Amino acid sequence: MYPNAGEDDCVGNVGEHGLHITLKDDGHNNWFFYLPRTCAHCTYPACLASCPRKAIYKRPEDGIVLIDQSRCKGYGECVRACPYKKSMYNPHTRISEKCVGCYPAVEEGKQPMCVQNCIGRIRIMGFINPPWPGKMRKNNPIDYLVHEKKIALPYYPQLGLEPNIYYIPPIHANRDYLTQMFGPRVDEAIENYKNLKNDVVTQGLLVLMGATDRIIHSFDVKNGIAYAYDDKGMEIVNVPIKEPLAERIAYDSSIGSIRVNTP
C-alpha cells in the first residue's frame, strides 16, 4: 500500500518536443507550488485511534507519533485512517511505517534531518505552546510564527486532527484553493506575510532557519543580528539579517596578476 502513488510522481510520456508549461494571461489561471509533506504528528492522530493493535502512540515529552514495530501486525488500518496519507504499509517487512520525527536527533536537542538538510532553508522545527497568555512565548520561534505573527497555518485543519506542521502559504497561488487547503485564515496569513519587509524581528527569525542543526528554543534580534538560544538560554548561533557583501579586487598586487574564477 503506497497511499501517495500517482500523486507525487510525474506521469505521462515526454513527447517528441518535450514538455513545457506556458504561463500567459489567456484566461486560465496557471499556478503551482511545491508542498513538502511529512507526518504532521497530529495532536489527535487518526492513525493512533484506528489501530486495533494499539501499536501507535504519541510521546508526551515531544509529541512525536510512533508505530511500535513489534506490536504492528500490518493490518493497514492506520494507512486507511490517516487523511494525510502518511502511514505506509511496507510489503517487505509486512508492517506499517511512517515518519519517526527523527526522535533520536530530537532527544539530542537536534532538528530532524529533513529540516537540517533543506537547502532552501525554509524549515524550522520546535515546540509550540498553547496560544493563550501565560503559555505562549513570543521569543519561541514557532509560537512567534503561528500565534504572534499568524503567518503559518496547518493544512486541512477542517479534518480535526490538529496537525503539527505549519506552512507559510504561497502568495501567488489560487486563493480559493489555498482557502480549502489552509482554512479561512489564509487571507490574513498572506497579508501579514506581505507586510514583513519592514519587520526586522521576523526577518531575523527567517534567517535563523537552516542556520543551525540544533533546536532553537528562543530567539532575539538586536542591531541587525538574529540570535538563537537553546533550552538553557545559551547562544547557539547568530546570523546577520543582511548578508555582508565581500568584494574581491580582481587585480592582486601581491602577485602582479588579475585573479579570475576559472582555472
User: Smallest distance, Å, CB 37 to ligand SF4?
Assistant: 9
Q: Which residues contact 126 (CB under 8 A, 6 or more apart)?
A: 140, 141, 142, 215, 216, 217
Q: According to CB under 6 A, which one of 72, 88, 102, 190 is a site residue for ligand SF4?
A: 102
Stretch that binds ligand SF4, among 100-108, 169-177, 199-207, 212-220 (CB under 6 A): 100-108
Interface of this chain with ligand SF4, residues 73 to 92, rule: CB under 6 A: 82, 84, 86-87
For residues 192 and 186, is the Cβ–Cβ distance under 8 A?
Answer: no
Q: Which residues contact 98 (CB under 8 A, 6 or more apart)?
A: 39, 47, 65, 67, 78, 86, 87, 88
Q: What is the DSSP letter of 172?
A: S
Helix (H) or strand (E) holding 259: none
- Angle of helix 175-182 relative to helix 186-194, nearest 10 degrees, comes to 110
Q: Residue 61 or residue 243: which is nearer to ligand SF4 going by CB?
A: 61
504532521: which residue's cell?
40
112 binds ligand SF4 (CB under 6 A): yes
Q: Residue 24 or residue 92: which is nearer to ligand SF4 going by CB?
A: 92
User: Smallest distance, Å, CB 75 to ligand SF4?
Assistant: 15
The amino acid sitting at 220 is D
For residues 124 and 114, is the Cβ–Cβ distance under 8 A?
Answer: no
65 binds ligand SF4 (CB under 6 A): yes
Q: Which three cell numbers stand for residue 247?
A: 568584494
Q: According to CB under 6 A, which one of 42, 178, 208, 216 is a site residue for ligand SF4?
A: 42
Q: Which three cell numbers stand for residue 18?
A: 518535450
User: Smallest distance, Å, CB 65 to ligand SF4?
Assistant: 4
Interface of this chain with ligand SF4, residues 117 to 156, rule: CB under 6 A: none
User: Smallest distance, Å, CB 217 to ligand SF4?
Assistant: 18
User: Smallest distance, Å, CB 228 to ligand SF4?
Assistant: 20
Q: Which three cell numbers stand for residue 167?
A: 506552512
Taking residues 160 to 199 in sequence order and writing x for each that binds ligand SF4 by CB under 6 A, - otherwise, the string is -x--------------------------------------
For residues 240 and 159, is the Cβ–Cβ distance under 8 A?
Answer: no
d(CA 171, CA 33): 10
User: Smallest distance, Å, CB 96 to ligand SF4?
Assistant: 9
38 binds ligand SF4 (CB under 6 A): yes
Q: Which three cell numbers stand for residue 152?
A: 503559518
Stretch that binds ligand SF4, among 108-116, 174-182, 225-233, 246-254 (CB under 6 A): 108-116
Residues that bind ligand SF4 (CB under 6 A): 38-42, 45-47, 65, 82, 84, 86-87, 98-102, 112-114, 161
